Structure 1
Amino acid sequence: MDWERDAGKLADQVTDPDSRWLAPVARVPRHELIPRWWDVDDSGGWVLRVGADDPEAWLRAAYADRSLITRVGPSHADHAEPGDRPEGLPTSSATLPGLVVRMLRHGRLGPGLSLLDLGTGAGGLTAYASHRIGAENVTSLDVDPYLTGVAGERLARMGLHPEFVTADATERVPGSYERIVSTVGLPAGPGLRPVLAALETGGRIATTLGRTCLIVTGWKHADGDVVGVVERDTAGFMLTRAGDDYPPALDELFDLAEDAEGDERGTGRYPVVDVANAWELRSMLEVVAPGVELGYAVSGRVRTARLVHPDGSWARASAEWTDPPEVHQGGPRRLWTTLERIRNRLNTEGSLPLLGAKVRITPDGVCHLSRGKWHASIGDR
């Protein structure tokens, strides 16, 4: 299979001609890391793709700058049978190479520096880093023993032998590292403590914060604080998980938000928006109301958004196309009102104070953000 040509084209696409990541991307046979994957069919359901069944399509998929979903809920594509139709959210993937390279750049790797790759997935970042700084300096960690095991086998066939560790990074991270790059969204607060503890003094971390698009980078100081910035760059990664799947969604609240009258009914100021795909809005909503889950549906010209929170709050906004929505809200807080305040600030000031903000992460995992007169903390509640 003539994969070298395709890998070279991919490297040209996602790196610069003088980039130190050009050769690693060009040298990794990415298709060998993704022999099977889940795709979305015309009905919106998951369907299995098997590379060996269509080698040309396999190469096109593997060497495109796109993410390939390898696990849905507890169902890994490697173990699936033709006709299987899993339900649920993606729980592992082969991250698009362009984003992998960006995260590696944010990590500022160098020869001889020890790296922890958080979130093995299909093993692409581990492979690129092993080529760049030497596999002996790379450790890859994932909560799923199958992922660490099979990635180790596949990289070994490429002549790469980094260390693989199976652990829940929100509970423990064995070892200590001069660089940590995470391709899962780490939770601010207690779940971040083990990762911070594994970062050596003077070391650097690059990660996103769970349920946000915010890429946070920083250096660890002698007092244990990590000091840095929210990069002027964005990424969306899956949340960390502790088991085979994510905890059940707040289905009862979503059902309530489907058609309940609520404690408050009114007309919204702004059109209905798919918050999950409006990354800055989603990120700021997580800052001011951590833990909100989102739903969005389109029926003809009618768009409906639902927001629910573990404290029992919920909101539903529905309207035809860009008309002002009819809004219903219930519970202890008004989630749509909170979202509209954020949108009002965005419209008034032209931006939100997130990208470029200063960051200080204390050893307890709390992330303190500041930009000008604006201050906020994530993980302290």
Structure 2
Amino acid sequence: MTLPTDLDHDAGALRAAMVKGLADATADAGADALSPVRPAWLAAAEEVPRLAADHLDAQGLTVWEPVTSNLDYGRWLAASYSDTTLIRQFDGEETDWEQPAVRHGGAPTSSSTLPSLVLRMWSDADVVEGNTVLEIGTGTGYSTALACERLGSSHVTSVEVDAVRLEGAADALYGRGYTPTLARADGCYGYWPEAWFDRIVATCSFQSVPPALLRQTRPGGKILLPLSGWLYGSTRVLLTVAEDGTAEGPLLPGTISFMPARTRAAPAYGNPADWAAGLHEDRPRSARHTPERITAATEEAFHLRFLAQRAVPDAQLVTVDGVLHLIDVVSGSVATLTPDGGNWSVREGGPLELWSRFEQFIDAVDAAGRPRPETYTLRVDGDGQRLLHAQVPEPGLPLGR
């Protein structure tokens, strides 16, 4: 592939413009800005190309359009240095870049995350010079390169479960002179050969905090971890590890989500109609809380979906012909919510009354005045993982698996 001779100049100019835009956005937001990007990370972003950008998909709503340097060099370069998430892989399979085609549907499984979020993650982790860091999820290598630029390659370890993605990231990183420790490994288990770490930062989400990460973090060290569940309610938590190996820290504000860790993806649940077939037709009731409380495209619903899913940590949600199904493959429980003249009719079956558990937790949140997620604290100790709030009782179940 032959690229224009002014590639580096064009890329540098676009990169500088992107970083200036991020800096201006932070300054304009003022002192109360959500997770402002720290100047040291902006400086690193000015030096680091957005790596492995030869083939990138531009993100659309329902249609995924390939954007490559061969198809449209100008658009490809502009996309590479826009503050946009660029999808690299669907359903764990590589795209045929010899004959790339528009794609309809598919689950993204690898991406180059929008730069502002990458920089904010490193900023929120409170990384300082001299820290050793473990990054979970190398991806394209862009965030790894930022850490190398800021801290030095010898301080950076990054693990990636996908061998093809790791090989591409390694080529891009080494080609630019960055030499972090890279390994194909399941980030749920950290990376013992390079432990201990001052900071651990994940760019994929987990249902709960993997215990191995606490054991590989120095006392006083911090873990920044996206958390989500099989209902895809999301948050981020910043934990500080104590001398006794326990950890505690606040949820962070914002409506930020990451793809789930590949090895912790939700299981297939089969045909929703098969699950619903065993429900008693003569035992419906009216819902006290409508599903819009957790499905609406609002910030409140985004946060409540994460909090409430703790009451049913193994449930998944699917809608078929307007009927919402909650399916729990672990316990064998199911609930359906069917529109019923302005309300919703609920039917439940199995050992757990799934929607009733949702409603009980939503009752508690409402009674407490619907506190924002950053007022919650996550504690990880010998008794498990508990999300604590002075005014919201625990639903009696662990954070997740």
Give the TM-score taking structure 1 as reference length.
0.84
Q: CA deviation at 1:150?
A: 1.2
Where is the strand percentage greater, Structure 1 or Structure 2?
1
What is aligned with 2:335?
Answer: 315
Show the counterpart of 1:183: 203
Could you tell me which residue of structure 1 aligns to residue 163 of structure 2? 145
Query: How many residue pairs get matched?
Result: 368
What percent identity do the matched residue pairs reach?
Answer: 26
Matched letter for residue 242 of structure 1: T
1:306 aligns with 2:314: no
**Using the alignment, how far apart are the partners of 2:88 and 2:169 within structure 1?**
12
1:359 and 2:386 aligned: no
Q: Does structure 1 conserve the Cα–Cα contact (< 8 Å) formed by 2:163 and 2:184?
A: yes
One-letter code of the match for 2:158?
S
SS of equivalent to 1:242? helix
Correspondences of 1:19-98 after superposition (within 5 Å)? 19-30=39-50, 32-38=51-57, 44=62, 46-77=64-95, 81-83=99-101, 88-98=106-116
Distance 1:276 1:136 in 2: 45
Of 219, 227, 242 in structure 1, the residue corresponding to residue 263 of structure 2 is 242
SS of match in other structure, 1:359 = strand
Query: Paired residue for 1:281, among 300, 304, 312?
Result: 304
What is the Cα deviation at residue 111 of structure 1?
1.0
User: Is 1:12 aligned to 2:20, yes or no?
Assistant: yes
- Which range moved further: 13-22 or 131-140? 13-22
Residues 229 and 358 of structure 1 are in contact (CA less than 8 Å); yes or no, is this contact kept in structure 2?
yes
SS of equivalent residue, structure 1 residue 26: helix
Shift of residue 113 of structure 1? 0.7
Match for 1:8: what amino acid?
Answer: A
Displacement after TM superposition at 1:247 (Å): 6.1
CA RMSD of aligned residues (A): 3.0
Q: Secondary structure at the match of 1:185?
A: coil
In structure 2, the partner of 1:109 is: 127
Deviations, residues 45-70 of structure 1 (Å, cap 9, x unaligned): 55544343112221332222222221
Match of 2:214, SS state, is helix
Q: Distance in 1 between matches of 2:242 and 2:83?
A: 36
Superposed CA deviations along residues 236-290 of structure 1, whole A, max 9, x for unmatched, are 11222239xx4642123x2335677546423324444363963222212331111
State the SS of the aligned residue for 1:329: strand
Query: 2: CA distance between counterparts of 1:275 and 1:214?
Result: 16
C-alpha deviation, 1:167, in angstroms:
0.7
Runs (5+) with no aligned partner, structure 2: 1-6, 28-37
1:164 and 2:172 correspond: no
CA contact (8 A) 2:311 2:358 kept: no
1:202 aligns with 2:220: yes
2:344 to 320, 325, 328: 325
Cα distance in 2 for partners of 1:79, 1:65 equals: 23
Residues of 1 paired with 2:84 and 2:276: CA distance? Answer: 34
- The code of the aligned residue for 1:27 comes to E
Q: Counterparts of 2:159 and 2:382 in 1: how far apart (Å)?
A: 21
Deviates more, 1:16-25 or 1:371-380: 371-380
How far apart are the structure 2 equivalents of 1:131 and 1:83? Answer: 35
> Which AA in structure 2 matches 1:313?
S
TM-score, normalised via structure 2 length: 0.81
Residue 215 (structure 1) aligns with: 236
Decide whether aligned partners of structure 1 residues 80 and 86 sit closer, same or farther in structure 2, where only a CA change above 3 A counts. Answer: farther
Deviations 1:7-49 (A, max 9, x none): 222223334467222122222221x42322345667x355544
Deviation at 1:170, TM superposition (A): 2.4
Alpha-carbon distance change, 188 to 271 in structure 1, aligned in 2, over 3 angstroms: closer
C-alpha spacing 1:295/1:51, structure 2 compared with 1 (3 Å): farther
2: distance between equivalents of 1:103 and 1:168?
20
Structure 1 pair 369–271 and aligned structure 2 pair: CA distance change class (3 A):
closer
- CA–CA distance in 1 between the matches of 2:371 and 2:323? 24
Matched residue type, 2:268: A
- Measure how far apart 1:214 and its partner are: 2.1
The 3 A distance-change label for structure 1 pair 123 and 313 is: same
Gapped regions of structure 1 (runs ≥ 5) = none
